[in-house]
Amino acid sequence: MTPSLLLSGFRFSNHEHRITNFSSQLRDDFQSVFLIWLTPFPDSLTAVTDLLVPILAFKVSQIIPQFNLTVNDERGIITRMTTIDFNESFPVEQILSASCVTLNLPRPPKRFYRHGWQSWSLAAWTELTPLPIQKPRILHPLQVDPVYAKEARPHSSWIGAVEFDDGKVLLLGSLGLDAHVTLNGNQLEGRYESGNGAWIIAHGDEASVFAKYADELGKRLGKKSAQPAPRVWCSWYSLYTAIDEPLLCKIFDDLGNLPFDILQVDDGWQIKVGDWEANQKFPSGMKALAEKIKSTGRKAGLWLAPLIAVKSSKLFRKHPDWFLRDERGKFVSAGFNWGEQLYALDATHPAALEWLAELMKQVRAWGFDYLKLDFLYGGALPGKRKDDMPREAAYRHGTKVLREAMGADAYFLTCGAPIIPSLGLCDALRAGPDVAGEWENRDATLLFNPAIPSAKNAIRTIIHRRWLESLIQIDPDVAYFRSIRCSLTADQKLLLQDLALICNFKATSDLPQWLSDFEREQLRGFLEASPVPVIEQTGVYTFLVNGKEMDFNSAIPLPEPPQGWSAIKGNALGWLANHGWALKILDNMNKRAWEKMRKGLEYQ
């Protein structure tokens, strides 16, 4: 019988040492259970413990050749590395504790499940051949986990899975933070970035193994909020940053009796990203805007990005010590947007945490009850922190402060957020890239960048994250009904609407003046539809809902890596987009186009 292990409870520190191993199933079915206690030693006997640990590691390696015990000198804890041979007699589910787990596969798998680090990062079943490194490099911090951005092997954040020819899936998932899974030939390897943690190994059909993983995560991090998902109108996908007080107030009135629960003001109201006060386009202030929204019978929502700041912001210039630096003392890049460099807030810095808490309280005092906090990955970027803790633990620490300060009665939507570290702290989580009024983005194909906004990119990743539905309300982003400034076909718009229905999260950005009478009634029917009680999955990417078949297969394939002339154009575009000055020119062009569009609305 293939050896398998269930290991738990190893710990080593200067004053308390306990090493426990319950249940070790050996090749001859002999059940060997050992429990070793190292009672607390006085400080004078520290040298004795330093001697005992490597001896213990040697003894364990003799008893269980597949289990290696090492000491991580940097953090002063014991790390365990476990190797397991997998075959068809493997138990359906096992949980073990180790810093590194290696599963030896009996044969090459067919596909690999890749789970991206944050909201906009790709999640999909992919072939075993390496995917091109997405371009441009300057955007890696805000689109992927920059620690693994150049990894050529199939790899995944927290969870990795392989599918065999018989359709069965083998899943290796971390039950803690700061973990990564890589497929290395015929080995599936999971590793914590620091210390040890729990892992789940599950084998069976795809739905059952992902459900087991979600169940174990829920026990540790928390499950879905009891608050129902509201029906949301959001300003972003029509107006972008070209919003102002008179225009929004007119739109709020023109929405009439459409059954929205939330009217959410997105990017464009603030002085700068980092300086969260109303700019000159909102002379009456944010409290007055929230009151206007409430006068229509809805709740007020607001977008912020509190864990990052642009270089020119007053916050960054006044408090540079609040921001992450690397080992050389340089500021950690959080990417490039709004025409300038982004920097990441240290979510462990006491003064920064106090500022975050006060910001959330201020927003609630203005009257906003729905908070969309974006670009939250900044809190989990690698860097030196005031309080030395793993980066995703630091993010979770900062997010707890945000949640507590805004109050349990606020609806908290995270976006651009590390997925697993956000569980249990928010009501909803954006589970894919931004949508757009186009099906596929040409630049996304040339750059092989599945995080660039498009309807296809968004649907692909969200469908591959539906296993999160028991843990969090999944925000699939907005649906489109309009024909103006939208190139989506009727069938493509219907796919986005169907996706919203199976996620039970409905939102749109369509302007009332852009909707025909027919489109407005379509939107009304969409908003009034009852939550879907039962969703039957009839195929890998097909569903049956209230007798209606929903087929998302057209959104699933990744584009082929650019070849020939397309590769040359992609490389040239990637080089250009990797320069801040080029992105700044693009940002200015977008702003001019949005402003021109806004002025046109004055006559509608």
Out of 91-95, 195-199, 396-400, 421-425, which region has the weakest mean confidence (pLDDT)? 91-95
Lowest pLDDT segment from 21-30, 219-228, 411-420 = 21-30
In this prediction, residues 86-93 reach a mean pLDDT of 79
- Could you give the 3-state DSSP secondary structure of residue 430? strand
Q: Please tell us whether the domain made up of 232-601 is placed in CATH 3.40.50.300.
A: no
Which residues, other chains included, contact 54 with Cβ-Cβ below 8 Å and sequence gap of 6+?
Answer: 71
Domain spans in the chain, listed from the N-terminal domain onward: 4-221, 232-601
Residue 271 CB partners (closer than 8 Å, separation 6+): 277, 278, 279, 314
Residue percentage of the chain with pLDDT more than 90: 80
Average confidence (pLDDT) over 41-47? 41
Low-confidence winner among 68-77, 185-194, 289-298 (lowest mean pLDDT): 68-77
DSSP-assigned beta bridge partners for residue 343: 309, 333
Output the pLDDT for position 19: 30
Residue 321: the pLDDT is: 97
Short-list 578, 577, 428, CA closest to 505: 428
Mean pLDDT of 330-349: 98
Computed on alpha carbons and rounded to an integer, the radius of gyration of the chain in Å comes to: 25
Confidence of residue 604 (pLDDT cuts 50, 70, 90): low
Instruction: Tell me how far apart the alpha carbons of residues 301 and 456 are, in angstroms, rounded to a whole number.
Output: 27
> What six digits make up the tokens of 22?
């319950």
Residue 194 pLDDT greater than 70, yes or no: yes
DSSP state of 103: E
pLDDT surpassing 80 at residue 24: no
CA distance 40 to 14: 9
| Whole-number pLDDT of residue 47 | 46
CB 182 within 8 A of CB 155: yes
Write out pLDDT tens, residues 470-515. 999 999 999 999 999 999 999 999 999 999 999 999 999 999 999 9
- DSSP for 13-76 reads -SS-EEEEEEEEE-TT--EEEEEEEE----GGGHHHHHHHHHHHHHHHHHH-TTEEEEEETTTT
Looking at residue 58, its pLDDT comes to 41
What is the Cα–Cα distance from 451 to 434, expressed in whole angstroms?
A: 8
pLDDT band at residue 603 using 50, 70 and 90 as cut-offs:
low
Give the model's pLDDT for residue 65: 33
